[in-house]
Amino acid sequence: MNRRPLLAGNWKMHTTVMEACQLAAEIGKCSAGLADRDVLLAPPYTVLSEVAHVLQGSEVLIASQNVCWEEKGAFTGEISPTMVTSAGGSAAIIGHSERRQIFHEDEEIINKRVHGALTFGLMAIFCIGETLEEREADKTFELLESQIRAGLAGVTAEAMKKVVVAYEPVWAIGTGKTATKEQAQEVHAFIRKLLAEMFEKDIAESVRILYGGSVKPDNVDELMAQPDIDGALVGGAALDAESFCRIINFT
């Protein structure tokens, strides 16, 4: 199965309007002409439409860093799927470990967000990952399975065409401690096998599974060479145009 690589930059809570426009412009330039892969940026909500504007006419996709399940209403602090679309976005990151850990988003809320994104036609970049404690206690696979079953509960095989899974071991995020290519591949293969059980083989074969956690210019090539790693979700290195350009140009 030929899965189109997806290189995604999660800017987290970084960039002023000016910084965002500048960074987006540089990434737009260095991603021009990359016909065999998708590039995606997830800037803060405050600059979604500016970044979309700067990248108009380019192939770069825009995502929000989270999304609500309702279209509008009394949900202070939230962003709706249609707001994302109207700002020029076509995807949303959901269930990032920072949302789970710092803001205590639980499985039920994450599942509602996944459905919200899919209902309104956004691509859902659904994140999962174990903590160091869970890995050391040999709970990695059990934990990932429960996150996947809960987060994707009620999602149909057809809707899975708009889902991307991002495996981000919490211990590798922002720590400079990347999972080895073997560790990442082992988990990605496990996720794909589980998806085949939950949906069907064809779906599991076509879903893109991204790795995230200290992806850098010097480790992206070996990660991307793994058979079940279909892309990267990049934090820190996505804030530096030169680094991110190198990452999206992985060989």
Residues in touch with ligand 13P (CB under 6 A): 10, 96, 168, 173-174, 212-215, 233-237
Q: Choose the catalytic residue: 50, 98, 130, 168.
A: 168
Contact 140, 186 (CB under 8 A): no
Does residue 15 come out as left (phi exceeding 0), alpha (psi in the -120 to 50 range) or beta? left
> Looking at beta carbons only, is 79 or 234 nearer to ligand 13P?
234
Cα–Cα distance for residue pair 70/232, rounded to 1 Å: 29
> Looking at beta carbons only, is 56 or 101 nearer to ligand 13P?
101
Please compute, for residue 132, the number of CA atoms within 13 A of its CA located in the half-sphere on the CB side. Answer: 7
CB of 44 to ligand 13P, least distance (A): 13
Q: Choose the catalytic residue: 96, 98, 105, 115.
A: 96
> Looking at beta carbons only, is 171 or 199 nearer to ligand 13P?
171
Cα–Cα distance for residue pair 230/37, rounded to 1 Å: 10
Identity of the amino acid at 144: L
> Looking at beta carbons only, is 213 or 231 nearer to ligand 13P?
213
CB of 129 to ligand 13P, least distance (A): 9
Is residue 115 annotated as a catalytic residue, yes or no? Answer: no
Q: Using CB positions, name the residue nearest to ligand 13P.
A: 235
- Closest residue by Cα to residue 96 from 35, 15, 151: 151
- Closest residue by Cα to residue 166 from 247, 117, 232: 232
CB of 219 to ligand 13P, least distance (A): 11
Cα–Cα distance for residue pair 240/219, rounded to 1 Å: 16
CB of 244 to ligand 13P, least distance (A): 10
Is residue 96 annotated as a catalytic residue, yes or no? Answer: yes
The residues assigned a catalytic role are: 96, 168
